A = this chain, B = another copy of it.
Amino acid sequence: MTPVPAYHHGNLRSTLLAAAERSLRQHGAGQLSLRELARDAGVSHAAPRRHFADRQALLDALAEAGFARLHAELRAALAAAGADFAPRLHAMAAAYLRFATEDAALLELMFTGKHREGAEHLVAAAAGPFGLMHDLIAQGQAQGVLEPGPPDRAGIVLFATLQGIATLVNGNLVAPDLLDGITRTAVDQFIRGSRRP
């Protein structure tokens, strides 16, 4: 018996999100079409509207999921690293840049101010990865490697540097094979620039 296609798809929302993530990786956010996603899911072109009020809502959901995944990957990288500050920082930076360069379009969605007015979701979702960075800096200070002070400012600068490296590489302004070296340089410079005198 070919199973009669159920009227209710069952998990359209997650199916759409998964397909969207694929399309995003392959063709970028600009090319992402709700109708095409609907076709792929074998569903009418208006069905997605039950789950995403409009195109932007879908993109916002993608960005939010992206932050969650980024958070998880950073946590995993930290867990795999040892207890010392410097290796942990290097591990985190490498993990961040792997994510950022493998999912360039997603990263762009997550960061470039494409969000809606009420983008508290996104800001809240971003707080996860930001928090990891913050905690790591605090650990560096506790271990006496970094100079004391509010970890926020230094953390933002570090985060910005990693984010910027990703942008330059993703924009083809820096050759991808330089990525690892530059990342290491950036982290080392960061440590040197804010280490305890």
Contacts and interface: CB of A to CB of B under 8 A. Distances in A.
A111 B170 CA distance: 8
Contact of A160 (B104, B111, B114, B161): B161
Interface stretch (A36-44, A72-80, A82-90, A149-157): A149-157
Mostly, the A contact residues are helix
Given A112-B108, A190-B189, A165 B172 contact: no
Nearest to A161: B161
A98 interface: no
A52 to B, nearest CB: 17
A153 B115 CA distance: 33
B160 A113 contact: no
Contacts of A173: 111, 123, 126, 130
A28 B114 contact: yes
B171 A167 contact: no
A181 interface: yes
Determine which residue in A111, A130, A170 has the highest number of CB atoms from chain B within 10 A of its CB, and name it.
Answer: A111
B181 A189 contact: no
B182 A153 contact: yes
Contacts of A115: 171-172
A21 to B, nearest CB: 18
A168 B172 contact: no
Interface string A106-121: 0010011111000100
Interface of A: 28, 30, 104, 108, 111-115, 119, 123, 126, 130, 153-154, 156-157, 159-165, 167-168, 170-174, 178, 181-182, 185-186, 188-194
